[in-house]
Amino acid sequence: MPGDGLFPATIDGVDYRLRAVLLPTFDGGEKIVLRLPQTGSMKLLGDLGATNENVAAIQELLALPGGLTIIAGPVGEGKTTTAHACLMAIGTDGRSTIAVEDPVERILPGVSQMEVVEEIGMGFGDVMRFFVRADFDTLFIGEIRDAATAAAAVRMAKAGRRVVSTIHANNNVTALLRLIELAEDSPLSVLDAVNGVISQRLVRKVDIARNGYYGRTPIHEVLRVTDKVIDALIENKSRAAIREAAADTSTTFEDNLQQLIKRDITNQAEARRVVGHDV
Distance of alpha carbon 12 from alpha carbon 46, whole angstroms: 29
Residue range 45-200+228-249, CATH number: 3.40.50.300
Torsion of CA 69, 72, 76, 78, to 10 degrees: -40
CA separation (Å) from 241 to 54, 165, 214, 219, 236?
23, 26, 37, 23, 9
Single out the residue of 201, 210, 173 nearest to residue 260, CA to CA.
201
* Residues making up the chain, counted from first to last: 279
Per-residue confidence in pLDDT tens, the chain, 279 aa: 777 777 778 888 777 777 788 888 888 888 888 777 665 667 899 999 999 999 999 999 999 989 999 999 999 899 999 999 999 999 877 789 999 998 888 888 899 998 887 777 777 878 887 777 778 899 999 999 999 999 999 999 999 999 999 999 999 999 999 999 999 999 999 999 999 999 999 999 999 887 899 999 999 999 999 999 999 999 999 999 999 999 999 999 999 999 999 999 999 999 999 999 999
The Cβ of residue 240 has, within 10 Å, a number of other Cβ atoms equal to 9
∠ Cα 125 131 135 (to 5°): 165
Nearest to 197 by CA among 79, 87, 88: 79
**What pLDDT is attached to residue 235?**
95
pLDDT at 40: 60
The full set of domain ranges for the chain reads 3-35, 45-200+228-249
Sheet with 112-115: strands ordered across: 112-115, 97-101, 138-141, 162-167, 67-72, 194-207, 212-224
Decide if 272 contacts 258 (C-beta within 8 A): no
- Give the whole-angstrom CA distance, residue 56 versus residue 197: 14
3-state secondary structure of 24: strand
